[in-house]
Amino acid sequence: MLDSRIYTFLEVCRTLNYTRASVNLHITQPAVTQHIRYLEELYQVPLVEMRGKKVCLTEQGKILERLAASMCADEMHIQEALHNSMHRREKMVMGATLTVGEFVIPTVLGRYLEDYPDTDISISVKNTENLLEMLEAGEIEFAVVEGRFDKSAYSYHLISREKYIGICGEKFFLECCQNGNIPMEALFQNRLIVREKGSGTRGILEQFLQTHNQSLDKFKNRIEVSNMGAIRKLVAQNCGISFLYEAVVEQELGREILYEIPVEGFQIQREFNFVYLKNSIFSEKYDKISKYFESWRGNI
């Protein structure tokens, strides 16, 4: 079991406030101060400094925060592993973004369960930001995410690079896509069907528009849908256009239910990555699991 003073330190890191940390931990503020001083004496480095009335972490404090977060997460997984060993079973607790959860996970876990049939699996499907928060909190062991994240803060393995495209129904395609590439600005007169705020899929389009001094507000109007199956059906019914990973609509494109919009200058690929905490004692386990994901497409 980790020293309780580590948990005090992490709460100070989270709140950057001794008083709030003491309230959250149900201990006195002097006790919080003593815990921090104990750790500073133990490691012989300054961890926290005051800048006026503001609590700030030193560089050494930031390093300890990252390491301590990994240790706390590992401790939770150690307890789980010991408990599961009593029942002679393995457990995998993971997270995935919506695209990954719907189009990658079924194939990968099918292969994994062929080799490890007695594994209990729990999957949380959320956006990348939420999954990384869950990872830091020890609520999941690893996450498979799309798009950008702070690679310096995590260990990760590249799974694949996926093409991101504009899609439309047959009516739009026949009326507007017969004469070659279409400028993005020409699409603004249409209804956009897009994922909810915070989703990686939506974020790619927002980033592209931002680099061209545009935004989602430029579109005539907008439908926000958190379910990609619903997005595909709405686009197929000519209710609007959308932007998704090509892997998500491969079947519909092949059957000419949906069509790719030839958008001028729109050539985007994004990474799918297997992510876990740095310095985890379970790194070897996660590296082994990641191999199943890395072979998903076999194209990297």
Write down the pLDDT at residue 142: 94
pLDDT of residue 79: 67
**Could you please report the per-residue DSSP string of the chain?**
---HHHHHHHHHHHHS-HHHHHHHHTS-HHHHHHHHHHHHHHHTS--EEEETTEEEE-HHHHHHHHHHHHHHHHHHHHHHHHHHHHTT-EEEEEEE-HHHHHHTHHHHHHHHHHH-TTEEEEEEE--HHHHHHHHHTTS-SEEEEES---GGGEEEEEEEEEEEEEEE-HHHHHHHSSSS-B-HHHHTTSEEEEPPTT-HHHHHHHHHHHHTT--GGGSSEEEE-S-HHHHHHHHHTTS-BEEEEGGGGHHHHHTTSSEEE-BTT--EEEEEEEEEETT-TTHHHHHHHHHHHHTTT---
Residue 9 confidence (pLDDT): 84
Token pair for 231: 């997005």
pLDDT > 70? residue 51: yes
Q: Is the pLDDT of residue 300 over 50?
A: no
What pLDDT digit, counting tens, does each position of 161-176 carry? 999 999 999 999 998 8
| pLDDT the model gives residue 89 | 64
43: amino acid identity, one letter: Y
Domains for the chain: give ranges and CATH numbers: 4-68 (1.10.10.10), 74-160+271-294 (3.40.190.10), 162-269 (3.40.190.10)
pLDDT at 77: 64
Give the pLDDT confidence score for residue 299 in this predicted structure: 41
pLDDT digits (tens, 9 = 90+) for 209-236: 999 999 999 999 999 998 889 999 999 9
The strand pair at 221-224 and 191-194 is best described as parallel
Dihedral angle over CA of 149, 152, 155, 156, nearest 10:
40
Share of the chain above pLDDT 70, in %: 92
The chain-wide mean pLDDT, for the chain, equals 87
Residue with the two structure tokens 């989270």: 14
Mean pLDDT of 188-206: 89
pLDDT, tens digit, for every residue of 90-121?
Answer: 788 999 998 898 888 988 998 999 998 988 89
User: Does residue 198 come out as left (phi exceeding 0), alpha (psi in the -120 to 50 range) or beta?
Assistant: left
pLDDT of 87 above 60:
no
Lowest-pLDDT range of 45-54, 80-89, 118-127, 241-250: 80-89
Q: How far is C-alpha 18 from the chain's CA centre?
A: 31
